[in-house]
């Protein structure tokens, strides 16, 4: 980064610290500026971090990459972190407390002890849920009204809560009975069309306001599906008795989808997200080298298969020219299938129970493509080497390898999912091994039987 750019970024952060431009920049933008500053000047990074307003600090820390987040937490005292946590909404406050605990348990205890009883209670309520459960992503801050409450009274109450800054991003009112059973969800925009002297029970049973909810211990993947199916900006979270607990907003779901997609892409490529965020070349190199080491042995295995047919290759040199084509087509076809299946597994569209249909579909697609490109490559090889039997051999080998690629591209992630492993991790390495070995064995084996024998 040139000096002028660094100065420009530093000035923006200084303005934020002085409470100027605060409304113009999101927490993610501020985190990005701090990330750039850290690369150029660690001292300034820590200095600006400590001076950030408490109402911004917590959100900015949560937006930092994992390595920088850990570094930031280590350089902030318990008092500053406590103030930052108390400025956050309940779900973000819980996330930050967990992040602090991962870095330093003693520091987390100090921060927790200094929190108000209200914040402690909220964090305790959210901490009981597992990472894959809806409750782990909900906010406890909701605007609710009782069935017997007048609309006018509720609006006045909302006005006071907004002035105090106790509620943010409120779009709906959750109507509950005396036991907090959720009865209706009414958009705030709809309230203005009703007589303010009416009570909520007079309008709550309109079919339009029938609540769409998720259970607190429901799998987060099902929650994502509901957001997609109903195009929701927010969804209510209830317990098993239907009592209102909180809400999950679309921004959290978008972040979750992005995290899952990033993780799957990195896993398919054999790299780790946390490692890729590191600035230390040694750390990134080490992480990537592990998968490259595995790939080396799979490549050696493929070479061993080729070695079994060295005499065949010597007698028919054209085989050496055409071998990579068979393996490459199989690898690419398999990767297409693998990517589609891993994505559908992540979205819950495929499971072990309905895998038969997916296997049949992907195998059929691979077989059809195999026959199409077998004809194309067969004709090319015939014309290229003036040998129709060589064209027949590579065509048959291509059909076999693409069919195998399609089948295993679907079955490998399904098996990994079945045994409890991440279907994205290692799938590409196994698939590449299968398509290379089968491709070389099929092509060279058929050549030995048909062309050389």
The domains of the chain are located at 3-128, 144-255, 270-452
What architecture does CATH give domain 270-452? Orthogonal Bundle (1.10)
- Token pair of 383, please? 């014309």
Q: What is the pLDDT along the chain (453 residues), one digit of tens a residue?
A: 666 677 678 888 888 887 754 556 788 889 998 988 888 888 888 999 999 998 899 999 999 988 889 999 999 999 999 999 999 999 999 999 999 999 999 999 999 999 999 999 999 999 999 999 999 999 999 999 999 999 999 999 999 998 888 888 888 999 999 999 999 999 999 998 999 999 999 999 999 999 999 999 999 988 988 988 888 899 999 999 999 999 999 988 888 887 777 766 666 655 555 544 555 577 667 766 776 787 788 889 889 999 999 989 988 889 999 999 999 999 999 989 988 888 788 767 787 777 888 899 999 999 999 999 999 999 999 999 999 999 999 999 999 999 999 999 999 989 888 887 777 666 787 888 899 999 999 999 999 999 886
User: Looking up tokens 């009703």, which residue turns up?
Assistant: 194
Burial class (CB in 10 A: 0-12, 13-18, 19+), 259: exposed
Annotate 278-323 with DSSP letters as a single string. Answer: -S-HHHHHHHHHHHHHHHHHHHHHHHHHHHTTHHHHHH-THHHHHH
Distance CA 25, CA 252 (A): 19
Identify whether the C-beta of residue 185 lies closer than 8 Å to the C-beta of residue 139: no
Contacts 24+ apart (CB under 8 A), 49-56: 49/75, 49/76, 50/75, 50/76, 50/80, 51/17, 52/16, 52/17, 53/16, 53/17, 53/19, 53/22, 54/80, 54/83, 54/84, 54/86, 54/87, 55/87, 56/16, 56/22, 56/27, 56/30
- The predicted pLDDT at position 351 comes to 78
CATH number for 3-128: choose from 3.30.1490.480, 3.40.50.300, 1.25.60.10, 1.20.140.10: 1.25.60.10
The whole-angstrom separation of Cα 85 and Cα 96 is: 7
What kind of architecture, by CATH, is found in domain 144-255?
A: Roll (3.10)
């Amino acid at each position: 980064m040139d000096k002028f750019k660094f100065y420009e970024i530093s000035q923006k952060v200084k303005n934020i610290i002085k409470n100027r431009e605060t409304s113009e920049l999101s927490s993610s933008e501020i985190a990005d500026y701090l990330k750039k500053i850290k690369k150029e000047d660690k001292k300034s990074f820590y200095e600006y971090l400590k001076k950030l307003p408490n109402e911004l600090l917590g959100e900015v820390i949560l937006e930092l990459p994992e390595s920088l987040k850990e570094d930031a937490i280590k350089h902030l005292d318990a008092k500053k972190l406590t103030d930052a946590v108390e400025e956050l909404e309940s779900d973000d406050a819980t996330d930050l407390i967990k992040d602090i605990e991962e870095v330093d348990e003693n520091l987390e205890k100090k921060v927790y002890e200094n929190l108000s009883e209200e914040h402690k209670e909220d964090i305790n309520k959210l901490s009981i849920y597992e990472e894959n459960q809806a409750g782990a992503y909900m906010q406890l801050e909701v605007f609710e009204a009782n069935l017997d409450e007048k609309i006018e009274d509720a609006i006045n109450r909302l006005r006071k809560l907004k002035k105090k800054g106790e509620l943010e991003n409120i779009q709906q009112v959750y109507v509950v009975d005396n036991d907090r059973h959720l009865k209706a969800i009414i958009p705030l925009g709809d309230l203005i069309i009703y007589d303010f002297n009416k009570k909520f029970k007079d309008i709550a049973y309109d079919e339009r306001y029938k609540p769409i909810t998720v259970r607190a211990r429901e799998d987060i993947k099902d929650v994502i599906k509901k957001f997609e199916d109903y195009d929701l900006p927010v969804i209510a979270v209830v317990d098993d008795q239907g009592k209102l607990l909180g809400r999950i907003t679309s921004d959290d779901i978008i972040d979750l989808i992005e995290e899952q997609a990033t993780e799957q892409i990195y896993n398919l490529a054999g790299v780790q997200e946390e490692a890729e965020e590191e600035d230390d070349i040694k750390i990134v190199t080490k992480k990537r080298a592990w998968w490259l080491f595995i790939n080396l042995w799979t490549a050696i295995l493929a070479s061993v298969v080729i070695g079994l047919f060295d005499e065949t290759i010597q007698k028919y040199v054209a085989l050496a020219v055409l071998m990579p084509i068979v393996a490459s087509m199989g690898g690419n076809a398999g990767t297409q299938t693998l990517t589609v299946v891993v994505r559908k597994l992540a979205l819950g569209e495929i499971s072990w129970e309905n895998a038969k249909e997916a296997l049949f579909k992907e195998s059929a697609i691979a077989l059809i493509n195999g026959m199409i490109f077998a004809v194309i490559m067969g004709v090319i090889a015939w014309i290229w080497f003036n040998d129709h039997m060589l064209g027949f051999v590579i065509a048959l080998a291509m059909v076999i390898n693409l069919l195998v690629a399609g089948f295993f591209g679907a079955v490998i992630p399904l098996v990994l999912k079945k045994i409890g492993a991440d279907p994205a991790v290692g799938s590409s390495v196994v698939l590449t091994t299968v398509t290379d070995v089968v491709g070389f064995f099929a092509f060279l084996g058929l050549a030995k039987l048909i062309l050389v024998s």
